[in-house]
Amino acid sequence: MRRLLIAGNWKMNLGPADTYRILEQLSSRSLDNLSQTDVLVTPPYVSLPAASEFLGKTPVQIGGQNVHHAESGAYTGEISASMLTELGCSHVLVGHSERRAYFRETDLLARKKTEQAVQSGLHVILCVGENLEQRQAGNHHIVVMQQVRSVLAQLPECTPANLSIAYEPIWAVGTGETATPEQAQQMHQLIRKLVSDLWNQEDAEKLTIIYGGSMKPENASALLHEPDVDGGLIGGASLHAGIFYELIKIAETVKK
């Protein structure tokens, strides 16, 4: 059975003081005895030390929102994978839709970042997804499969132990729109089938594939009950400890 993953992407929100506050609120609830759910938060870079200090040896894991593809060098403003691990990060997001859209990050760059992160011992959450125009044109399957293939087909060192995939339909990120459970399942199933072709059936079944398009308490149960939806990459809802905790508890009730 695949464990579920509820990951909070804080984006450019919550400095160190607010990080202490929200984590204190979250830690006041019981997260020590989760039977099938892993919890991850990805604060901004400046808040990673605060998160690492507060969470310590708790079950909540910490990740970076982005990483550079080089180990070191003259890259002003960038952060390397080894810096993230030194700060206590176990995970990192790569290829998030906002990085692709606002900073013109390509599939090639996502592959380079994934390679560097995995070599440094980080678990990569590779983000893939289509925009509204691509879905309306009926090209969404082609777009997402290419994004997955461009990374996984070139990096044999990637396994379910060091890589997960987040499917985020861009048209449903921050818009209040949400893919139906059936739409999410269809894409997740296609991703798993492609991974089976690229890797093998056993690893494809082990791979964690989470949904990243406006998951909230109202739709989480229906989404998580789909057989190939293994959790959620939560944006705005993760900025509220009570809502984020509710999503975690919903994940705990899902029988896979």
Which positions are catalytic? Answer: 96, 168
Question: Based on the number of CB atoms within 10 Å of its own CB, is 72 exposed (0-12), middle (13-18) or buried (19 or more)?
Answer: exposed
Could you give the CA distance from residue 7 to residue 212 in angstroms, rounded to a whole number?
Answer: 9
Contacts of 241 (CB under 8 A, 6+ apart): 22, 25, 26, 29
Torsion (CA) 105, 196, 154, 123 in degrees, nearest 10: 60
The residues near 17 (Cβ < 8 Å, ≥ 6 apart) are: none
From residue 90, alpha-carbon distances to 2, 39, 64, 185 in Å are: 19, 12, 8, 27
Contact of 155 with 114, CB cutoff 8 Å: yes
* Sign (positive or negative) of CA dihedral 234, 235, 238, 244: negative
Q: Identify which of 124, 125, 144 has the alpha carbon closest to the alpha carbon of residue 134.
A: 144
